[in-house]
Amino acid sequence: MRITTITNWAYGITVVLTVLSAVAFILSARSAVQERQAVEQHLLLNSMGEELALGAEETTDEARLYVIRGEERHLDAFTIDEGEERRRDTAINALRGLGIPDAERQVIEEVAVNAEALDKVEAAAVAAYTSGNQTGARDTLFGPEHERFQTALLNSVNQFRALATARTEAAFRSAQARSDLWANIAKVMLALTAVIFLGVLYFILRRRVALPLVRMTGIVNRLARQDYAVEVPTDRRRDEIGEMNDAIQIFRENGLERNRLDAERKRDLETKDLILQMMHRLQACYAQNELAEVVALFVPQIFPGVAGCLYTMNESRTTLSEVSRWLEPEHTETSFAASACW
């Protein structure tokens, strides 16, 4: 596979993983917000439930202290607590407007009914005590009816708090689990991105690019110095580095061919020059022995490594006579005989 293709794939995968990790972080942040909202709602509902329970108990305590001691301050506190109960009704209405589930809404309605019934009993007892019926007032506040309404009220409040706590804790755990899940997914995406990035650095940039380029740099430097004896290793890769290796191999072969052609041309020029020199010398010869010496001197240079002899024919053209010899046939690759007619 080509390096550009691998790089493009790695870049695309890295971008996709980065986008996915960003989305996972955003979802994790949203889950964290939901988690915080669940905690805030849990604290709010818990505090409202506690306020309802404390308000009911404080009102009952003030009413009982008034019918026992007869002190006006307890009556004033009971009257003030009745105002607190009206604020308690406001809290109940606020709970109704929070969009709580139907089960919790039903419990809130039961709290309101029990609180109203308890208020009627306590108000009747206080009125009886004020009118002089102290025994009846005490029997009412400490009787089974008051106890039943108070217990029902407190049970309803505790039931509401338990339902609200269970729901908000479940919402908190669900939001926390989602936040942790998306955070872990984002971390995994980032880890995969880092692994791909390091893999690209090591396997592509270092092993597939850097190391071959270092090797090719040494080869190219030697070829630049016209050292064509350097060996270009065979590379079967079908990527940019393989194409570059093939180009260097072609460059080396062209250099070798150019050197070979230059050497042949130089040898041809030297041979032509020697032939011209020999022709000039032969033209200046006046005797047979001079001609034989010139041939024996120049022919071994014109045909190096080739042994031979020069023969001349007598005037009657019946006999060949050897007039010169150069090199020895047993020490050469080939031999030939030259004859001349005089």
DSSP state string for 88-112: HHHHHHHHHTTT--HHHHHHHHHHH
Least confident of 91-105, 270-284, 305-319: 91-105
Task: Please give the pLDDT value at position 87.
Answer: 56
Helix (H) or strand (E) holding 49: helix 3-69
User: In whole angstroms, what is the distance from residue 334 CA to residue 327 CA?
Assistant: 11
pLDDT digits (tens, 9 = 90+) for 196-240: 888 777 777 777 777 777 888 888 888 888 887 778 777 777 777
Q: Are residues 15 and 148 in the same domain?
A: yes
Report the range out of 56-65, 80-89, 200-209, 273-282 with the highest average pLDDT. Answer: 273-282
Q: What mean pLDDT do residues 241-261 have? A: 83
Q: Are residues 18 and 108 in the same domain?
A: yes
Q: Are residues 58 and 116 in the same domain?
A: yes
Could you tell me if 52 and 157 are in contact, meaning their C-beta atoms sit under 8 angstroms apart?
yes
Task: Please give the pLDDT value at position 56.
Answer: 67
Task: Please give the pLDDT value at position 39.
Answer: 82
Q: What mean pLDDT do residues 177-189 have? A: 87
Q: Are residues 192 and 249 in the same domain?
A: no
pLDDT at 102 over 80: no
pLDDT digits (tens, 9 = 90+) for 32-58: 888 788 787 777 777 777 766 776 677
Helix (H) or strand (E) holding 313: strand 306-313
Could you tell me if 75 and 66 are in contact, meaning their C-beta atoms sit under 8 angstroms apart?
yes
Q: Are residues 338 and 245 in the same domain?
A: no
Q: What mean pLDDT do residues 107-132 have? A: 81
pLDDT at 341 over 50: no
Q: What mean pLDDT do residues 189-198 have? A: 85
Could you tell me if 239 and 208 are in contact, meaning their C-beta atoms sit under 8 angstroms apart?
yes
More confident residue, 318 or 280: 280
Task: Please give the pLDDT value at position 18.
Answer: 85
Q: Are residues 277 and 300 in the same domain?
A: no
Domain of 296 in residue numbering reads as: 287-342
Task: Please give the pLDDT value at position 336.
Answer: 47
User: In whole angstroms, what is the distance from residue 342 CA to residue 336 CA?
Assistant: 20
CATH number at residue 118: 1.20.120.1730
3-state helix, strand, coil in the chain (%, to 5): 80, 5, 15
Q: How confident is the model at residue 147 (pLDDT cuts 50, 70, 90)?
A: confident
Q: Are residues 170 and 48 in the same domain?
A: yes
Q: How confident is the model at residue 254 (pLDDT cuts 50, 70, 90)?
A: confident
Q: Are residues 178 and 233 in the same domain?
A: no
Q: Are residues 189 and 312 in the same domain?
A: no
Q: Are residues 180 and 162 in the same domain?
A: yes
This model's pTM is above 0.85? no
Q: What is the mean pLDDT of the chain?
A: 78
Q: How confident is the model at residue 88 (pLDDT cuts 50, 70, 90)?
A: low
Report the range out of 49-63, 132-146, 214-228, 264-278 with the highest average pLDDT. Answer: 264-278
Specify burial of residue 332 (Cβ count, 10 A radius: 0-12, 13-18, 19+): middle
